[in-house]
Amino acid sequence: MSFLDDDRPKKPAAHEIGADLSLLSADELQTRITILQEEIARLEAEKARKAEGRKAADSFFRT
Protein backbone atom coordinates (compact mmCIF):
# COMPACT_ATOMS: atom_id res chain seq x y z
CA MET A 1 0.00 0.00 0.00
CA SER A 2 1.44 3.35 -0.97
CA PHE A 3 0.88 6.74 0.56
CA LEU A 4 -1.20 7.63 -2.51
CA ASP A 5 -3.92 5.17 -1.45
CA ASP A 6 -4.82 7.46 1.45
CA ASP A 7 -5.83 10.22 -1.00
CA ARG A 8 -8.46 8.14 -2.75
CA PRO A 9 -12.02 9.31 -2.16
CA LYS A 10 -13.83 7.11 0.29
CA LYS A 11 -17.04 5.42 -0.85
CA PRO A 12 -19.94 7.10 0.94
CA ALA A 13 -21.96 5.02 3.35
CA ALA A 14 -25.41 3.90 2.24
CA HIS A 15 -26.80 6.22 4.88
CA GLU A 16 -25.29 8.33 7.58
CA ILE A 17 -27.44 9.12 10.59
CA GLY A 18 -28.15 12.85 10.70
CA ALA A 19 -27.09 13.45 7.08
CA ASP A 20 -28.68 16.27 5.08
CA LEU A 21 -31.62 14.80 3.20
CA SER A 22 -32.65 17.91 1.27
CA LEU A 23 -30.69 16.99 -1.87
CA LEU A 24 -32.10 13.46 -2.17
CA SER A 25 -34.93 12.53 -4.51
CA ALA A 26 -38.02 10.69 -3.33
CA ASP A 27 -36.64 7.49 -4.90
CA GLU A 28 -33.32 7.91 -3.09
CA LEU A 29 -35.16 8.49 0.18
CA GLN A 30 -37.20 5.32 -0.37
CA THR A 31 -34.01 3.38 -1.06
CA ARG A 32 -32.52 4.59 2.20
CA ILE A 33 -35.72 3.78 4.09
CA THR A 34 -35.59 0.24 2.71
CA ILE A 35 -31.92 -0.13 3.66
CA LEU A 36 -32.63 1.08 7.20
CA GLN A 37 -35.69 -1.17 7.58
CA GLU A 38 -33.58 -4.17 6.55
CA GLU A 39 -30.89 -3.15 9.02
CA ILE A 40 -33.47 -2.80 11.81
CA ALA A 41 -34.76 -6.29 11.04
CA ARG A 42 -31.19 -7.63 11.15
CA LEU A 43 -30.55 -5.93 14.48
CA GLU A 44 -33.81 -7.22 15.96
CA ALA A 45 -33.01 -10.77 14.82
CA GLU A 46 -29.57 -10.59 16.46
CA LYS A 47 -31.09 -9.16 19.63
CA ALA A 48 -33.61 -12.03 19.74
CA ARG A 49 -30.83 -14.57 19.17
CA LYS A 50 -28.81 -13.13 22.03
CA ALA A 51 -31.87 -13.03 24.29
CA GLU A 52 -32.48 -16.72 23.60
CA GLY A 53 -28.86 -17.50 24.44
CA ARG A 54 -29.16 -15.53 27.66
CA LYS A 55 -32.41 -17.31 28.52
CA ALA A 56 -30.78 -20.71 27.93
CA ALA A 57 -27.79 -19.74 30.08
CA ASP A 58 -30.02 -18.45 32.88
CA SER A 59 -32.05 -21.65 32.76
CA PHE A 60 -28.90 -23.80 32.86
CA PHE A 61 -27.36 -22.01 35.82
CA ARG A 62 -30.58 -21.84 37.87
CA THR A 63 -30.90 -25.61 38.08
pLDDT tens readout for residues 2-60: 566 667 666 666 788 899 999 999 999 999 999 999 999 999 999 999 999 888 888 88
For residue 60, what are the domain limits?
Answer: 24-63
Q: For the chain, how many structural domains are there in total?
A: 1
With a cut of 60, say whether residue 1 has pLDDT above it. no
Instruction: Please report whether residue 5 resides in a domain.
Output: no
Instruction: Please report whether residue 56 resides in a domain.
Output: yes
CA distances from 9 to 6, 32, 44 (A): 8, 21, 33
Instruction: Please report whether residue 38 resides in a domain.
Output: yes
Instruction: Please report whether residue 4 resides in a domain.
Output: no
pLDDT at 2: 58
pLDDT at 63: 62
Instruction: Please report whether residue 14 resides in a domain.
Output: no
The answer, as to whether pTM is greater than 0.75, is no
Instruction: Please report whether residue 13 resides in a domain.
Output: no
pLDDT at 15: 82
Instruction: Please report whether residue 29 resides in a domain.
Output: yes
